Amino acid sequence: MCGIVGILGSEPVAERLLDGLKRLEYRGYDSAGICTIHDDQFDRRRAPGKLKNLAQRLSENPLPGLAGIAHTRWATHGAPTEDNAHPHIVGEVVIVHNGIIENFKPLRDALIAEGREFYSQTDTEVVAHLIAREIESGAEPRAALAAVLPKLHGAFALGVMVRTHPDLLLGARLGAPLTVGYGEGENYLGSDALALAPLTQRIAYLEEGDWVAITRESVEVYDRENNLVERPIVNSGASGQLIDKGNHRHFMQKEIYEQPVVVAQTLRSYLRPLESRVALPDMDFDLSSVERVVIVACGTASYVGMIGKYWVEQLARVPVEVDVASEFRYRDPVLLPNTLGIVISQSGETADTLAALRHMRSAGVVTAGIINVPTSSMAREVDLLLPTHAGPEIGVASTKAFTCQLAVMAALATNLARAKGRLEGEADVVRQLQQVPEAMSQALSHDAEIEAMAPKIAVARDVLYLGRGPEYPLALEGALKLKEISYIHAEGYASGEMKHGPIALIDDQVPLIVIAPSGPLFDKTVSNMQEAQARGAQVVLISDAEGIAQAGENAIATIEMPTVHSLIAPLVYAVPVQLLAYHVAVAKGTDVDQPRNLAKSVTVE
């Protein structure tokens, strides 16, 4: 979602701010802007659309100044126009903001009643007015910010500068991440360490409710009670190089291709082949006491949770509940003793999942997190961090994070099964998991076939996906992937559900993607597939040699996967599902890495 960069520099900042924004592009945005202070005046450039529009404005009309703040905006209140783009200037104050001020309406109404004028539709402008009002009544900038923060409800990360104090950069966070970067004679503010990586590796992560006063020589962090506090400076390890696409046309394609390597990397930290054991990091609770599991996540990560439910229930015989995070805390969930709460998240910052994690913790539930960004809010708040090692995922459509999350979920299910005394053949589980990278490489070798069939799918208005067992959530994932990057309407169904309604959608214009590895459930899925074929469905069958030999005859296309154990099938079958969505989107000419309306890290509810 939105991105913030701020620099109090010893050299001009505009180009460096733009570079920082480029590094935040992956989060998704629809307008951008930069404001500097020069000769005691604000100077600002903003532009709707992609950063190249802002870069164009900067090249036509450069921005001088040694101090400035910059922002990529993902519209929440008001269209992505130049007027709504950040930074917003009100009086002596300039501000950038990530998140949502939930009580902006009454605040705005009260400010208008006082005679203050608004020029944008944003919730952010309310904050600018509130701080400006404090300053107009004589407060110095730190006090003005501290007075305003308690009035704001919602989630926010803020960057603030005051025209009369060009050597001061203020920031604040609540529910949205914000980092401080330490330089030599310069200091910085950024949404994440990646944005600041070319400037510094020395980073402090602000905690919930913190606010910060930055000068070129000093950084003072205050907690929500305005106590001066210390936040450790760590080495971010983030690369200063812009992550590039290598030989690939899109980040998504690169990330699909990285999977054999990153899944192997992830598995390496959990598998102990010499001991025929699947291990977890040390934990200070006893897995054998777990009597139920609650998994909470959003989008693709929630489908990992659904697959995890099959695995945990089958292997460990522990009941599992899976919830989308946006529903979880508002339905007042019943959280019984001896529950293990699991959150799954690539970014570790998804607002709903983070809120669900906090809800579980406040109810006394022990939590584990399958998380890709080790410095994220969730990673810092879970009782047990189970890292994925997918590396930065830039494409908005999650691919390698998904399969790495599955690998960790398999490790967790195995450990739970052992702790419950139900695990038989751990050596076999280790062997199966070790085969995943090779099987994924084999799956990738079908890329050209999938590319060749993509134009047939690209003309469809609706596409349905079918799967059974752990391949049912994969059908949901396939449909999500297709709709988010190709904008084709797609739905995933449990195969057996077809005739309870969705089969009414079937005609000869509707491609039906059937995900069906051979095995005990295969015949049942094939029956459901044939029922749809009898009504004209254009079937693409994704199966192994045996399955295709048995049921591929009337399909418009088949994609042959290697024959794999049912435990690892979802990881392997994810590859053709991702490639199909990718090639259909390319055939349609959409913006694959930054599809319309979507953000990578959804830090608002």
Which chain residues interact with ligand AGP by CB under 6 A? 298-301, 345-347, 350, 353, 396-398, 484, 601-602
**Cα distance between residue 605 and residue 599, in whole Å:** 13
Q: Is the peptide bond before 473 cis (omega within 30 degrees of 0)?
A: no
Q: Nearest to ligand AGP by Cβ — which residue?
A: 299
The one-character DSSP state at 439 is: H
8 Å CB contact between 539 and 555: yes
Helix, strand or coil, per DSSP, at residue 216: coil
Rg (C-alpha) for the chain, rounded Å, is 25
Instruction: Quickly tell me which residue has 């099987």 as its tokens.
Output: 439
Q: How far is the CB of 353 from ligand AGP (least distance, A)?
A: 5
Q: How far is the CB of 465 from ligand AGP (least distance, A)?
A: 15
Helix (H) or strand (E) holding 68: strand 67-73
Helix, strand or coil, per DSSP, at residue 347: coil
**Active-site pick, 2, 35, 298, 404:** 2
**Active-site pick, 254, 420, 481, 600:** 600
Residues 6+ apart with CB under 8 A from 286: 419
Q: How far is the CB of 376 from ligand AGP (least distance, A)?
A: 9
Is 254 among the residues known to form the active site?
no
Helix (H) or strand (E) holding 294: strand 292-297
Is 499 among the residues known to form the active site?
no
Angular region, 15: left φ>0, alpha ψ -120 to 50, beta rest: alpha
Q: How far is the CB of 414 from ligand AGP (least distance, A)?
A: 22
**With helix as H, strand as E and coil as C, how does 118-155 read?**
CCCCCCHHHHHHHHHHHHHCCCCHHHHHHHHHHHCCEE
Residues 6+ apart with CB under 8 A from 263: 400, 403, 404, 407, 436, 437, 440, 571
**Cα distance between residue 352 and residue 343, in whole Å:** 11
Helix (H) or strand (E) holding 387: strand 384-387
Tally of helices (H runs) and strands (E runs) in the chain: 19, 27
Active site residues: 2, 600
